Structure 1
Amino acid sequence: MKRFDTIAGRLALFVSLGFAAIWLLAVLATALVLKGEQEELLDLELRETASVLLPVLSRAYRGGAAEGFPARPEADTGDDPTETLIWILTDRSGATLMQSTEAAAIARPDGRPAEGFSETGTHVFYTTAPDPQGLSIRFGDPKAERFEAYRDSFLAFLVPMLAILPLGYLLVGWIARAALRPLDTLRAAIAARDHGRLDPIDAAGQPAELRAITATLNGFMTRLSRSLEGERAFATNAAHELRTPVAVALAQTQRLRAGMTGEAATRAARIEDALKRMGRLVARLLQLARADAGIGISETPADIARLLDLVIDDCSRDPDRAARLRLTRPDMPVLSPIDPDAFAIAAGNLIDNAFQHAPADTPIEIHLSRDGHLHVRNQGTAIPGDALAGLKQRFGRNGTKSGGFGLGLYITDTIARQTGGSLTVRSPIDGMTSGFEAELAFPGYVPASDP
C-alpha cells in the first residue's frame, strides 16, 4: 500500500478506476450492440438462404425427387441435429413434404406456415411465403452455432481490450508522476532548508499553483531568517560582552579566595565554580554562533591528525586530565576538507563531554582512524535509547546532574553535517555493557600517501 501513499500513486489509482468503469460500460455496450447486429445479420442470411432454396426444392419436389428426401427418415447420420442447418418443405396446411435428414430429431414450429421468424428450443426458423404452387420452406439456423459465433467474435474483441487496462494504468501513472514532478522538486528544495539555510526557493519553471505556494513559503523563510539572525546576533554580542567581565570577576574571586579561610573561603569557592560555569557557557554560545554561521567546510584539506594533537595539548594543560587521556592515531597525515577551527571545536567538545560524564580517574580513549573517523570513548552507566536519541538536539541532556548545557554534541553534529559528515553516538560501547562512544566521521577526507 505504500505505492498509494503518494499523490501520484493515488491519482493514478483513482483515474485508472474511473477509466476502468468507463471501459466496462463501453465493453457492455459493445457486447449488446455486437449481439444485436450479429443476430440481424444472421437473420438476413437465414431469410435470403430460404428464399433461394425454396424454388430449388419446389422444382425437385415436383420433379419426383422427394424419394431422396424422406419426410420421416430412419437413418442416423451421427451429426448433432442441434448444431446443423435444418430445412422443411411444407404445403399450405403445414404438412411436411420434404426435409433434411436431421430435421426429424428436432422440434419444429407448429401450425400452418406463416411468413416470418420463429424460434424453438434449438433453432431459429424463417418461413417463406407460399410460392404459386402453395409450397413453403422453413429454414432453421442452430442457436448453438449462433452463440458460438457471438462468443468467438466477442472474445476476439475483449482480449485486446483487456490489455488496455494495465497499459492504461501504467500510462496514467507515468503521466501523474511527470505532472507532479515540480511538486517533488519543491519538496526536495524545502527538505534541503533548515536553520542554517533559509535562502529563497527558485520558482522558475513551476506551475502557477506552486509559484503561489513558493512565494508564500519564501516570505515565511525570509521572516524566519531575520528572526534567527537577530537571535544569533544577540547571542554572539551577549557572549562577547560577557566574556571579559566574567574573566575579570573570576580572576578577582580567585585572588580573594587565596586570602580567605573558613566559611568565607567556602563561599568564594562556590562563586568561583559558578563563574567558571558561566565562562564555559559563554564559550559554548560563541561556538554555537560560529557553527550556525557555517564554518565547517573548507576548500583546502586540513591534516586533522595534527589538529588533534593540538586539541590534546590544550586539554593536557590540566594535569588531572592529561593523566587520563589515551590517544591513538595514524603516524601519517589524515586530510579532510574541514575548517581547522571547526575541527578543534568539534573534537574539543567531544573530549570535554567525555570528561564531564565519565567517572573520576577513568581513562578517556581517543582514536583517529586513517579514514578520518574520530572515536571518543568514556566509561559510565549506559544511556537508555530514548535519551540517547535526543543528545544531539539543542539543549539535549541525559538528566541535569552532569552540569552540562546540552550544546556540545549539538554544535559538533552541526559542524559534521556542514562538512557532509556525521556524528554517531552509542551507549553502551560496542562489545561492552556500559560506557559511551561518540564517532565523528568526515566522508570527504582525502587519503594521504605514506612518505
Structure 2
Amino acid sequence: MTMFSTKSLQFALTKRLTVMISLFWIAGSLLADFTMYHEMQEVFDSSLVKSAYRYAPLIDDYLIHNGSDSQTVVVKSPEPGEIRTGDRGEGEDEIGTDYLMYQVRDVSGRLLLRSANAEQEPFSAPLLEGFHTDDDFRIYSAVVHDGTRVIQVAESLNHRHEALIASVSAQFLPIILLIPAVIIGIIFAVRQGLQPVRRVRDDIEARSEGNLSPIEQDDAPDEIHTMITAVNRLMEKLDAALRAERTFTAHSAHELRTPIAAALAQTQRLLLELPADHPGLKRAQQTEESLKRLSRLSEKLLQLARAEAGVGTSPTGKNQKLGTTLGLVIDDLERVSDGAGRIEWDGKNAAELNANIDVDAFAICMRNLIENALKHGKDDSPVVIEIKGSNVIRVSNGGDVVDPRDMTELTARFKRAQTKARGAGLGLSIVETIMQNTGGKLTLSSPRPDHADGFMAELWLHQS
C-alpha cells in the first residue's frame, strides 16, 4: 500500500474516527469557550464593581484636597513602562497598560473628576446604580457619598474581545497541533487492530491458483472467523471437485492409451498388408491419422492433469541442473519427422541452466514449446532455442504474425490461433500452469524480436 488504499477498510476507519474525534473535540471546545465567555464577563463585571467601591474613599479624599468647583480634575496615571518602586522600597515593578477608566459626576451630571485615560465627555450611561453597555464600553455606575456622587468605571469592549480571542487561541492552538498526533495514533491503533485481517489477506494473496489448503484462523477476530470458516468449506468442496476432475481426466487418458496404441498398431499393420491400389487404403490412412491425433490428445490430457495436480517444484527444494534434460528432449524431437533437421540450438551454455523445478515438469514445458514451434512455424524456417543466463530459455520460429487479439488467450485451454496446423490447443496452457506452480513466468511475443514475422516463447524459470 502507498500507505494504504483509499478503498481499504483501514483508510475508512481512520478517516471516520479522525473526523468523529475532531468533531467531538471541536464541539467540546466550543461549549468550553461559551462557558468561558460567560465566566470571563462575570469576572470583568465583578472587577468593575470592586474597582468602583474601592475608588470611592480615595476619590473623596482626593477631591477634598484637590477638588475644583470650576473645572474637571484629571488624575494623572503612570505611563506604560514606567518603573514603580514597591511600597516597602523593595524591588521594582513595570507599570502595564491600564484598561479601566473612571469618571466621577454629581447628581446633576457635571463631571467632577476623571482618570487620565478616560474620555473628556461624560459616559453615556445613566446616573443610576448598575451596568450599562454602549458601542464601545461596558460601564458600571456606583452611587456613593450619600447619593450625591456617581462613580462610573468603564472598560473597553475591544479589550474584552481581545482577551476572549487570546483565551480561545490558547485553547485551540494545542488542539490544532495535537490533531496530527491523534491521526497518527488512530492510524497506528487501526493498523494494529486490523493486523489479523491483514494476515488473512496476505495469506490468500500469496497463494498460487492451485493452493486450496485451509486458511489459518487461530487468531482471527470474531467478525471474520465465520467468513474464514465459510471460505475454507468452499475451498474444501472446490478442491474435492477439482481432484475428482483431475483423477477422471488422468484415468480416462491413461485407460485410452492402451486401446489407442493397439488400434494404431493394427491400423499400421493393415496399411502394410493392403496393396497400393486397394480401395480401402485411403480410409485406413485417415484412420491412422485420427488415431495419432487421439494418442497425442490423450498424452496432452495426462500432462495437463499432472500440471493441475501441482507438479513443478524441485523435490529437494533446491535448484537442479537442467541442461541434460533439455538435450534429451531436443534429441527425442529431432527423431520425429517434424523436427528432423529443423531445430537449432547451441548447447555450450546448457551446463549453466538451473532452476527450482522438477526435471519431468521442465521436460513437459520444453517438449510443448518446441512441438508448438515445429507445428506452427514455417517448414523452411528453423526452430531456434537459446539459453540466456542461467534461468531463461527462448524458443522462436518463423511464420505468420499472431493477431494481437489472440495473444492474450493463447494460454487458455483448447485455444488456438488462426492456423491450419494440427493441435489440441493445450500445449501453452500446460506450460503456463507449470510456471504458475513453480513461480516462473511464460512470456509470448509475435513477431519475434528483431524480426518482422514469427513467434517467440520465453521461459523465466524460478531459482531458489
Query: What is residue 86 of structure 1 aligned with on the other side?
Result: 101
Q: Which residue identity is paired with 1:348? A: R
Q: Say whether residues 1:114 and 2:139 are aligned partners.
A: no
Q: Say whether residues 1:60 and 2:68 are aligned partners.
A: no
Give the Å deviation of 1:84: 4.8
Give the Å deviation of 1:49: 1.3
TM-score by length of 2: 0.87
Q: Say whether residues 1:19 and 2:21 are aligned partners.
A: yes
Inter-partner Cα distance in structure 1 for 2:117 and 2:441: 91
Q: 2:48 aligns with which of 40, 46, 52?
A: 46
Query: What is residue 158 of structure 2 aligned with on the other side?
Result: 144
- Give the alignment of 1:220-299 within 5 angstroms: 220-258=234-272, 259-261=274-276, 264-298=280-314, 299=316
Contact 2:322 2:350 in 1 (8 A): no
Contact 2:338 2:374 in 1 (8 A): no
Structure 1 residues 181 and 433 mapped into 2: Cα distance closer, same or farther (>3 Å)?
A: farther
Contact 1:315 1:322 in 2 (8 A): yes
Q: 2:412 aligns with which of 375, 393, 396?
A: 393
Q: 1:303 aligns with which of 297, 321, 330?
A: 321
Q: Say whether residues 1:317 and 2:335 are aligned partners.
A: yes
Give the Å deviation of 1:417: 2.5
Structure 1 residues 149 and 135 mapped into 2: Cα distance closer, same or farther (>3 Å)?
A: same
Contact 1:328 1:367 in 2 (8 A): yes
Q: Deviations over 1:193-243 (max 9, x none)?
A: 455221111211111222211111111111111111111111111111100
Structure 1 residues 195 and 135 mapped into 2: Cα distance closer, same or farther (>3 Å)?
A: closer
Structure 1 residues 246 and 105 mapped into 2: Cα distance closer, same or farther (>3 Å)?
A: farther
Query: What is residue 448 of structure 1 aligned with on the other side?
Result: none
Give the Å deviation of 1:192: 4.0
Contact 1:396 1:407 in 2 (8 A): yes
Inter-partner Cα distance in structure 1 for 2:121 and 2:441: 89
Inter-partner Cα distance in structure 2 for 1:241 and 1:53: 119
Query: What is residue 366 of structure 1 aligned with on the other side?
Result: 385
Q: Deviations over 1:264-318 (max 9, x none)?
A: 3322222222111111111111111222222211115432111111011000112
Q: Deviations over 1:84-130 (max 9, x none)?
A: 5321011223321111234335661243x211111122111111132
Inter-partner Cα distance in structure 2 for 1:260 and 1:35: 119
Inter-partner Cα distance in structure 2 for 1:110 and 1:126: 8
Q: Which residue identity is paired with 1:5? A: K
Q: 2:402 aligns with which of 357, 377, 383?
A: 383
Give the unaligned 5+ runs of structure 1.
446-451
Give the Å deviation of 1:70: 5.1
Inter-partner Cα distance in structure 2 for 1:105 and 1:360: 117
- Greater CA deviation, 306-315 or 33-42? 33-42
SS at match of 1:186: helix
- Greater CA deviation, 256-265 or 141-150? 256-265
Contact 1:107 1:121 in 2 (8 A): no
Q: Which has the higher helix share?
A: 1
Inter-partner Cα distance in structure 1 for 2:121 and 2:413: 94
Give the Å deviation of 1:404: 2.4
Structure 1 residues 260 and 400 mapped into 2: Cα distance closer, same or farther (>3 Å)?
A: farther
Structure 1 residues 59 and 334 mapped into 2: Cα distance closer, same or farther (>3 Å)?
A: same
Structure 1 residues 83 and 406 mapped into 2: Cα distance closer, same or farther (>3 Å)?
A: farther
Contact 2:103 2:122 in 1 (8 A): no
Q: 2:10 aligns with which of 8, 11, 32?
A: 8
What is the percentage of aligned positions where both structures have the same residue? Answer: 32
Give the Å deviation of 1:133: 6.5
Contact 1:373 1:441 in 2 (8 A): yes
Give the Å deviation of 1:131: 2.4
Inter-partner Cα distance in structure 2 for 1:425 and 1:146: 79
Q: 2:226 aligns with which of 212, 221, 224?
A: 212
Contact 1:356 1:402 in 2 (8 A): yes
Query: What is residue 34 of structure 2 aligned with on the other side?
Result: 32
Inter-partner Cα distance in structure 2 for 1:129 and 1:56: 15
Q: Which residue identity is paired with 2:72? A: A
TM-score by length of 1: 0.90
Structure 1 residues 118 and 203 mapped into 2: Cα distance closer, same or farther (>3 Å)?
A: same
Q: Which residue identity is paired with 1:325? A: I
CA RMSD of aligned residues (A): 2.6
Query: What is residue 88 of structure 2 aligned with on the other side?
Result: none
